[in-house]
Amino acid sequence: MKLIRAICLLGLILIVSCQNRNEVKKPENLLSSSEMKDLIYDMVLLDAAAVVNDKKLKELDVEILQFLSKKYTIDSTDLKQNILYYNMRFDENLDIFEKAKDSIERLDRVYDSISNLRDSLRRAEMKIRDSIKNIDSLSTDKTLPKLKLNN
């Protein structure tokens, strides 16, 4: 009896573990690796924008899927097929995601530089305002001594 249970259990494990891996066919509207990288880049940026300020996206009437569909001239089915196609090609998909990540990191460095520049400009502006306030706070009663010029 124990032998029959062990065989049944082993058979069940073999059946469940052997998956039929269906090859995903190349989509009719296949995006190139470069376009796919750009699409993923845009998806990440739009998702971040939605998290940061979803209200503004709604005010601007921006629908993420609609925006991507229009920009890449694909519909949601094509998008799904492209994602499945590239997911089945691990090395190519990894390369696409690495390139998208690099682009996002480059953009982050640019924003950091702009932020640092803004901060520097604000500090300089505050310094100028403080200097003007100091000049304005000088009493008008105080007069500077006249210098005698020897001719």
Region of poorest pLDDT, from 81-90, 100-109, 110-119, 136-145: 136-145
Query: Whole-angstrom Cα distance, residue 138 to residue 26?
Result: 78
Report residue 96's pLDDT band, with 50, 70 and 90 as the boundaries. Answer: very high
Q: Does the pLDDT at position 35 exceed 90?
A: yes
Place of tokens 């682009």: 103
pLDDT band at residue 40 under the 50/70/90 scheme: very high
Task: Say how far apart CA 112 and CA 118 lie, in whole Å.
Answer: 10
